[in-house]
Amino acid sequence: MLFKQQAWLRQKLLVLGSLAVGSLLYLVARVGSLDRLQPICPIEGRLGGARSQAEFPLRALQFKRGLLHEFRKGNASKDQVHLHDLVQQLPKAIIIGVRKGGTRALLEMLNLHPAVVKASQEIHFFDNDENYGKGIEWYRKKMPFSYPQQITIEKSPAYFITEEVPERIYKMNSSIKLLIIVREPTTRAISDYTQVLEGKERKNKTYYKFEKLAIDPNTCEVNTKYKAVRTSIYTKHLERWLKYFPIEQFHVVDGDRLITEPLPELQLVEKFLNLPPRISQYNLYFNATRGFYCLRFNIIFNKCLAGSKGRIHPEVDPSVITKLRKFFHPFNQKFYQITGRTLNWP
């Protein structure tokens, strides 16, 4: 009898212990989440909101990962939209490029900030005539739900190199903030080629080697008709944008540094967007298996970029790399001069 009582008591203690540990883990997770999502500094003057910090309750930002997610899935009602004062805002900042510069990584990392809401998909409104013809309200409805105090950001890398885009964006908002993330031009061109090559291989199609595309076989000079090369002449594209926007509305992000040392780059973007500094080293951890940084929103929710990021580049003839870097050098120097940012490119 005594043995049965002791066994019963041990079982009860185990159950109570499990409940206690579970409750403790929940509280820790909750505190971790609330710590990241505490009310942000007043930014209504910049982001167009009418409420003060005191009027913007803590739970509003908690909904950023909860209720807003339900809206993206289509699981929330119009009454909830009205109740929680949610809106679909036009972006106040756009990542306009550059393709294979790290636009997805930059967008996901900025989304760590509680005042930022991202458009998950590339909308291609300004560079696609059919989409642009649908009007600005169509574009707005492609934006995520957010609070008025939050800032919506979208990214479409084709914007940077498409001729009609600067004027179209200017007509929407002449004071918009524009983010350009760039990598060393030759590396970016090879990365561009690698993505196209992978797509061809998936369809069992053959493709030219990079060297044959990047170098004109008739002149043995750099082939500026090759799109991957043209895209890397950053200054040529930027000059077109400067016909509509002053340089102060642009911020250049070093895509190479974002890979190896992301926090300083993100802090510069926070400053450019006039956001209170909230992204910290806690939010970024290096994943040795993936070979780059992943994101930590709280102690429960982590996120790494898709496996398609960080593709291994094919080997390229060193003489071609040297020729390309020599070709890009004067354009790079002009880019540094215009933007006021010097990058450590060979």
**Residues that constitute the known binding site for 3'-phosphoadenylyl sulfate:** 100-104, 183, 191, 293, 309-313
Query: Collapsing DSSP states into helix, strand and coil, what is residue 252?
Result: strand
323 catalytically annotated: no
Q: Distance between CA atoms of 316 and 313, rounded to whole angstroms?
A: 9
Q: Distance between CA atoms of 258 and 107, rounded to whole angstroms?
A: 12
- Choose, from 64, 92, 100, 323, the residue flagged as catalytic: 100
Burial 15-51 (b: 16+ CB within 10 A, else e): eeeeeeeeeeeeeeeeebbeebbeebebbeeebebee
Could you give the strand order of the β-sheet that contains 284-287, starting from the edge strand earlier in sequence?
A: 284-287, 292-296, 302-303
Burial of 80 (0-12, 13-18, 19+ CB in 10 A): middle
List the beta strands (DSSP E) in the chain: 87-88, 93-97, 116-118, 145-146, 151-155, 177-182, 250-254, 284-287, 292-296, 302-303
Side chain identity at residue 145, one-letter code: F
Residue whose token pair is 């997770």: 29
Q: Is residue 129 within 8 Å of 165, Cβ to Cβ? A: no
Task: Kindly list the catalytic residues.
Answer: 100
